Amino acid sequence: MNAVPATAAPRLRPMTLHDVDAVGAIEASAYGFAWTRGNFIDSLAASHLAEVLEDERVIGYFVALPGVDEMHLLNITIAPHRQGQGHGTRLLDAVAAHASVRGLPRLWLEVRASNERAMALYVRRGFVVVGRRRGYYPAAEGREDAILMSRSVAAPSA
């Protein structure tokens, strides 16, 4: 009887400049109006919180901006062929954990009004709609609104 080798769970690690091409490829495959390579390089240069999720290769990532009393999630993406496997939840939970450790009580994000799948994930992870940013995103025809969402972040356990 042949045993099937166990696949290691994907691991999170800090994003580096060496990841930018892989991250950019995922970004381009997931979005019609993707962040550019320069956007990711600028985020790393500005010391934004950025991590990748990888197994044999990068399968997802997030970029977040810690503030004085909040964490703003700027970008979170899972490679399209790896979506629906819990990786987005894992990344969101990692962002919330970083906010908690830093004592940041609130997590914010914007999401395209048309991205119902992402909004459903955010709601499952405790986000609520708190506003709308009119014409925030570029779209095939004009601009698309962003839905502003937020959730509280628990303080770390003592």
The average confidence (pLDDT) of the chain is: 93
Residues forming the active site: 110, 122
Token pair belonging to 84 = 């629906």
Domain that holds residue 16: 11-152
pTM value is: 0.91
Tell me which of 7 and 101 has the higher pLDDT.
101
Which CATH number do you get for residue 96? 3.40.630.30
- Helix 87-101 vs helix 116-124: crossing angle, to nearest 10: 50
Segment (H or E) for 62: strand 58-66
Over 60: is that where the pLDDT of 136 sits? yes
Note the pLDDT tens digit of each residue in 48-88: 999 999 999 999 999 999 999 999 999 999 999 999 999 99
Number of independent structural domains in the chain: 1
- Give the dihedral of Cα atoms 24, 33, 86, 74; nearest 10 deg: 80
pLDDT score of 158: 57
Evaluate whether residue 40 is within a structural domain.
yes
Buried b (16+ CB within 10 A) or exposed e, 68-80: eebbbbbbbbbbe
